[in-house]
Amino acid sequence: MQRSAEHAVTAVLGPTNTGKTHLAVERMCGHSSGMIGFPLRLLAREVYDRVVKLKGESRVALITGEEKIVPKDARWFLCTAESMPLDKDLAFVALDEAQLGADPERGHVFTDRILRARGREETMLLGSESLRPMLKALVPGIEIINRPRFSTLSYAGAKKISRLPKRSAIVAFSAEEVYAVAEMLRRLRGGAAVVMGALSPRTRNAQVAMFQAGEVDYLVATDAIGMGLNMDVAHVAFASLNKFDGHRQRRLRVAEMAQIAGRAGRHQRDGTFGALVEEGPGAFTPEEVFAIEEHRFPPLEQLYWRQGEPDYSSIDALIESLEQRPEHRVLWAAPQSTDLAVLKRMAEEPGVRGRCRSSAMVARLWAACGVPDFRKLGVDPHTRFVARLFGYLSEGLGYIPHDWFAAEIARLDNVAGDVETLAGRIAAARSWSYIANRADWLADPAHWSARAGAVEERLSDALHLSLTQRFVDKRTTLLMRQIGADPRALPVTIGAQGEVMVEDHAIGRLDGFRFVVAADARATDKRLLLAAAERRLGDERARRGVALAEAEDSALALSADVGAVPTLLWGELAVATLAPGPTLLRPRVLLDRALDCLSVEARGKIEARLRLWLAGQLKRSVPGLVVLDSVQRDPAASPASRAVAAALVAHGGIVARADIAVAVDGLDPVARKAFRGAGFTIGALDLFDPRLLKPGAARWRRVLLAARGTCPVGAGPREGATVLDRAAPGATLAHGYRPVGAQAVRIDLIERIARAAHDARGSQGRKPFVLDPALALSMGLTRATLEQLMGGFGFRPAASDDDTLRWSWRGRPPVRSAPPPRDTAMAGAMAGAFAALGQAG
């Protein structure tokens, strides 16, 4: 394209809704020929349809990567920026959204058009005011015109989805988030249209038509709507203020926020914008609100650039020219894009270099590398696709085989599947549409372009139908309009059993604080009537919150369910769980998520009530542990006393003596008496509170351990068991049983045997004595278990003339410090001098 004098270049800058694009279209149509480059295929198609009505189909062309409509006598061209044919001599040329030159991914394309795209008589650059310093630096003598916004754009605060006004557009930044918001709107407001850049123009137009015709009152879109798509939107709500830009998750720049928010309002009608949350990363800051309302954004400091006229003499020359550094101070080298990454991988293949012996073939290779990765497969899979494509383009007549193209198109020509499946097929079809629009890649490009276009149209119609079925409930929409603007005015009743009725329609049940939708209300108008019940449900939940905060002790309980998370009940309703706290006796009380509907003050009162109840239960059920919890924090207690108390509390009132032997030996007689007075036994093998072995106290002890994550609530042994098989549930010291050989013996019975042995020994010193055999027999101990126990106490079998089992004292074996056990539940059983008892058998 010939360059005219730089003074013929005009920049029209300003915020959204200033009529910049409309002005460019008018100026183009006033010339004998012209072209406008747009940032989106959808926008190019929209303006193409407008110009066709003015000039006729035979004189207007549409050129995008996947679609080419170029009549023989075309004089006006509507294109995407990447597809602008710069070799045409046209009277007028314009570039829309020129500030996208600062975009790391596509910026080099827009910068190249700013520098090289010129009309014979007039050139117009459209964009944000932030582009002004860049244009002055790059285009000397440029005339800059600033246009004010036609209407006022103001911040309307945060609004929940259920409170959004009609004619709102909700903007999200991923397909998953768009679908989630649209599904919520279907349930709450009857449905929404969906617009994403990945949609085909046919699907997008059908979805927008629903919104424009008033069939739905809400639109859910990606940031594609920020690029000049014209719709009758009164309010723009941001579902998020963060997006993934291809490299990282980041917060939107304020100029990007304004570009999207500016879709609200049209011509002279004012618009508003806001977020869905009042606080957190999804909320606007006061500085951002001020900048958007006043249209004040930081000026751009650089644009991205890449050589627009690369050297095709060889592959290496091509790569070198594409990696050339810009000379101008305001231009930055563009980051490596997908096409260049693919080219470098292709250049590593000897076969590719062997085929590229002419500049024409190098240019053909670069064109193949430019096929967009519509399916977002990544560089390596996309390179394999391009390699196969170039293989066909560089051999024989240089055409892609019809059978391959036909097979791929036939595979995609399937309208069955859900929204995601259809969207994936359309993305794949776009690749083949792009290929078919390369006139020199197929022997019959017109036929295959029509074939690919027909498949895309069928898939687009199916996707529109699927989107409508999934995200639009027409019965609900109609009912909401019959109800009027304020459905909360309808009578709402809540029955004694929690059933919620709206005008005799049962829409669900209030189960405690959580509303459960009626099974037959899904996807029907009944479910939408939740909006009518909203205020009444709030009043009832508040009343129930007061009742819970004032509940009697008898109304609160611990869940009897076997599980890993201790749960507190109000009647039969789970209201909180226990989690690790500062100490075992002071676990945290976590309120159930269903109580989030209450005020902060109400939740605080409920939490205080549950803590008070829990403290009372622990004082009654595990009084010894409560006493020791205070001892371990008492600065007046001796170090040994605090150490022993801390160990007992940490282990739930049962700890192997060998683990704290030094601290136990440091207890003076007064301290020992105090521990016994608190109910604790300082035994030969273990320190423990015998009361904790009773079912009620044992259960609370397991609850505390479960809250800390030590053992599940339901992992205790069977009630009343004195001796267990070593493999039985709960056969650990953590549950009050010491593994000995093939059996596990309850620790209070072990102390009973130890006392009986020392009593029987009496004053005989090392002389053999007889232990009452009925004692072990009544407990169910095997002879092997008894022998190992007695050995641990310091006794050994003595020689006897008859079958009577006699024992003699050999002295207590030395206590060794045990290494930290890997299993905390087995800590006591594997400790000290009695490790052999835990390993035997």
**Listed residues 657, 692, 715: the one ending a domain:** 715
- Are 166 and 139 in a shared domain? no
Q: Does 117 map to a domain?
A: yes
Q: Does 320 map to a domain?
A: yes
- Are 15 and 162 in a shared domain? no
399 DSSP 8-state letter: -
Q: Terminal CA-to-CA distance of the chain, rounded, Å? A: 92
Task: Quote the domain boundaries for residue 284.
Answer: 153-294
Q: Does residue 790 have a pLDDT over 90?
A: no
Q: What is the pLDDT of residues 718-766, one digit of tens each?
A: 777 888 888 788 788 888 888 888 888 888 888 888 888 888 887 666 7
Q: Does 1 map to a domain?
A: no
Q: Does residue 798 have a pLDDT over 90?
A: no
What is the rounded distance in angstroms from the CA atom of residue 262 to the CA atom of residue 595? Answer: 38
Q: Does 16 map to a domain?
A: yes
Where do we find the tokens 């095709």?
Answer: 312
- Are 317 and 437 in a shared domain? yes
Region of poorest pLDDT, from 167-176, 219-228, 282-291, 538-547: 219-228
- Are 257 and 347 in a shared domain? no
- Cross-strand pairs, 501: 493, 506
Cα separation values, 306 from 196, 312, 318, 382, Å: 28, 15, 12, 22
Give the number of C-alpha atoms closer than 13 A to the C-alpha of residue 143, restricted to the C-beta side: 9
Most confident of 201-215, 558-572, 611-625: 611-625
Mean pLDDT of the chain: 84
Residue type, 465: L
Based on the structure, what is the number of domains in the chain? 6
What is the rounded distance in angstroms from the CA atom of residue 148 to the CA atom of residue 226? Answer: 18
Q: Does 437 map to a domain?
A: yes
Q: Does residue 4 have a pLDDT over 60?
A: no
- Cross-strand pairs, 681: 688
> For the residues 165-183, what does the mean pLDDT come to?
89
- Are 706 and 764 in a shared domain? no
- Are 453 and 526 in a shared domain? no
Where do we find the tokens 């030094």?
Answer: 662
Three-state secondary structure along 758-785?
Answer: HHHHCCCCCCCEECCHHHHHHHCCCHHH
Beta strands at 499-502 and 505-511: parallel, antiparallel or unpaired: antiparallel
What is the rounded distance in angstroms from the CA atom of residue 733 to the CA atom of residue 312? Answer: 79
- Are 169 and 287 in a shared domain? yes
User: Rounded to the nearest 5°, which phi and psi values hold at 193?
Assistant: -85, 155
pTM of the model as a whole: 0.57
With bands split at pLDDT 50, 70 and 90, how would you rate the model's confidence at 475?
A: very low
558, 701 contact by CB (below 8 A): no
Q: Does 25 map to a domain?
A: yes
Q: Does residue 382 have a pLDDT over 90?
A: yes
With bands split at pLDDT 50, 70 and 90, how would you rate the model's confidence at 5?
A: very low
Residue 532 confidence (pLDDT):
58
Q: What is the pLDDT of residues 284-293, one digit of tens each?
A: 999 999 999 8
Q: What is the pLDDT of residues 652-663, one digit of tens each?
A: 889 998 888 888
Give the number of C-alpha atoms closer than 13 A to the C-alpha of residue 169, restricted to the C-beta side: 31
With bands split at pLDDT 50, 70 and 90, how would you rate the model's confidence at 208?
A: confident
- Are 337 and 288 in a shared domain? no
Please report the DSSP string for 460-519 in residue order: HHHHHHHHHHHHB-HHHHHHHHHH-S-GGGS-EEE-TT-EEEETTEEEEEEETTEEEE-G
434, 389 contact by CB (below 8 A): no
Three-state secondary structure along 104-119?
Answer: CCCHHHHHHHHHHCCC
**Listed residues 471, 504, 531: the one ending a domain:** 471
**Listed residues 294, 327, 362: the one ending a domain:** 294
Q: What is the pLDDT of residues 533-566, one digit of tens each?
A: 666 688 888 889 999 999 999 999 988 665 568 8
* CATH code for the domain of 208: 3.40.50.300
- Are 535 and 560 in a shared domain? no
Q: Does residue 822 have a pLDDT over 50?
A: no
- Are 786 and 707 in a shared domain? no
What is the rounded distance in angstroms from the CA atom of residue 156 to the CA atom of residue 234? Answer: 11
Q: Does residue 320 have a pLDDT over 60?
A: yes
User: Rounded to the nearest 5°, which phi and psi values hold at 149?
Assistant: -70, 140
> For the residues 487-507, what does the mean pLDDT come to?
66
- Are 461 and 355 in a shared domain? yes
- Are 74 and 139 in a shared domain? yes
Q: What is the pLDDT of residues 661-706, one digit of tens each?
A: 888 888 888 889 989 888 898 888 889 999 988 888 888 888 888 8
